[in-house]
Chain A
Amino acid sequence: GAGVSQTPSNKVTEKGKYVELRCDPISGHTALYWYRQSLGQGPEFLIYFQGTGAADDSGLPNDRFFAVRPEGSVSTLKIQRTERGDSAVYLCASSPYPGGTYNEQFFGPGTRLTVL
């Protein structure tokens, strides 16, 4: 079956602009995660959704970052007033319900964001 998909695969924007990154999780997966991966580093947790609600947004770096999942499926990560330091690969992952400690997280290919 289809895996996690993310669009766009690449996004180049100018400093100060607004961007939206989309994630389509595996059908039926109720848990959805966003991570950010800088070059040469492991993924860094941003936010976790269980269904429609953000169960944990403690990883969002500041209030320029926001994510939604209005129908409990597709999620959008929104970044306002982008800065050059936001440049990274943004990864989305999903896992099946029930959520919990041992649920394998299935990752999408990521969106490479470049802020000029």
Chain B
Amino acid sequence: GENVEQHPSTLSVQEGDSAVIKCTYSDSASNYFPWYKQELGKGPQLIIDIRSNVGEKKDQRIAVTLNKTAKHFSLHITETQPEDSAVYFCATNRDSNYQLIWGAGTKLIIKP
């Protein structure tokens, strides 16, 4: 079945520096790639998503890139701030439908 691998599991960066989280997937039919941010005690919140017909998408300090040939996509956060500290999850859809398959998460720590 579909598998999503996410790296690294923990990422610690200095405030103001950039952070990059990478995911790979196995189902070539996947065509939707969201990224979620989860703070302690809260549910995941969508921060950005990308469709398979787009290679890159940017929203202020956050960007996502997609390489369908290599089956990987990445989250880029620039000018990191303390409030960016959280667990970030990548996901993709199974068999081109609504069911999301999730990575194991990356704990992002922003050091002041």
Contacts and interface: CB of A to CB of B under 8 A. Distances in A.
Partners in one complex: yes
A110 B44 CA distance: 10
B74 to A, nearest CB: 17
Q: What is the predominant secondary structure among interface residues of chain A facing chain B?
A: loop
Q: What is the predominant secondary structure among interface residues of chain B facing chain A?
A: strand
A85 interface: no
Contacts of B89: 42-43
B98 A107 contact: no
A28 B8 CA distance: 38
Contacts of B105: 40-42
B33 to A, nearest CB: 11
Interface string A81-116: 000000000010101000111111111111000000
Contacts of A100: 98
B14 interface: no
Contact of B98 (A44, A103, A106): A103
Give the size category of B's interface with A: 20 to 34
B45 to A, nearest CB: 7
Interface in A39-74: 40-45, 48, 56, 59
A105 B46 contact: yes
Contact of B44 (A31, A43, A44): A43
29 contacts: A4-B43, A31-B98, A33-B98, A40-B105, A41-B104, A41-B105, A42-B91, A42-B102, A42-B103, A43-B44, A56-B98, A56-B99, A59-B99, A91-B43, A91-B44, A93-B43, A95-B98, A99-B98, A101-B93, A101-B97, A101-B98, A102-B32, A102-B49, A104-B34, A107-B36, A109-B42, A109-B43, A110-B42, A110-B43
Interface of A: 4, 31, 33, 40-45, 48, 56, 59, 91, 93, 95, 99-110
